[in-house]
Structure 1
Amino acid sequence: MAGNNEPVTSPDQRKPTNRKVAYTVTIAGIITMIAYLFGNHEGRVEDLWLLFTAGVLAIGLAADWLMVRNGLRE
């Protein structure tokens, strides 16, 4: 391909994600989903989906934290 001036880099040369920001955004998302439980809706299906999604985010956050803590992930 002509005109492709993008340098070739390996994955370890890329700037890592700021873990503190990622954790903060995830926790904010969990809090927001739990806050949505308190509204003027009558059905419980929405509540179950919100709790399920918040739970998946919390499990992912805890798994990442444990992997970093145990040295399995940078």
Structure 2
Amino acid sequence: MASTEVDHFAGSQHEVDTAEVPSAAWGRSRIDHRTWHIVGLCIFGFLLAMLRGNHVGHVEDWFLITFAAVVLFVLARDLWGRRRGWIR
């Protein structure tokens, strides 16, 4: 009968082979979470900046506010989770 054990990788899970990805030697294979947080804040600001416009109805305002709140929630959850050690 086949074993149901999971084979563990001997090296670190976050290391990338430089033969497969040459830019890994310069550290460009990791995700920079600080950059994504800044991008998320820029998107949040852009969504709120679009509230000032030439639209007549307020349906667009509610959509923009809702999407901005979702972006802010995802950013806050990610920041809080990383500080607590829940997300790596």
The TM-score bracket by the shorter chain reads 0.7 to 0.9
Aligned residue-pair number? 65
**Bigger radius of gyration, 1 or 2?**
2
Name the residue aligned to 1:13. Answer: 15
Name the residue aligned to 1:67. Answer: 81
Whether 1:47 and 2:61 are equivalent positions in the alignment is yes
Residue 12 of structure 1: SS of its match in structure 2?
A: coil
**Displacement after TM superposition at 1:20 (Å):** 1.1
Gaps of 5+ in 1: 1-10
Gaps of 5+ in 2: 1-12, 17-28
**RMSD value, Cα:** 1.6
**Which structure has greater helix proportion?**
1
Identity across the alignment (%):
28
Query: Which of 37, 49, 54 is the aligned partner of 1:23?
Result: 37
* Code of the aligned partner of 2:45: I
TM-score (norm 1): 0.79
Q: Point out 4+ residue stretches in structure 1 off by more than 6 angstroms.
A: none
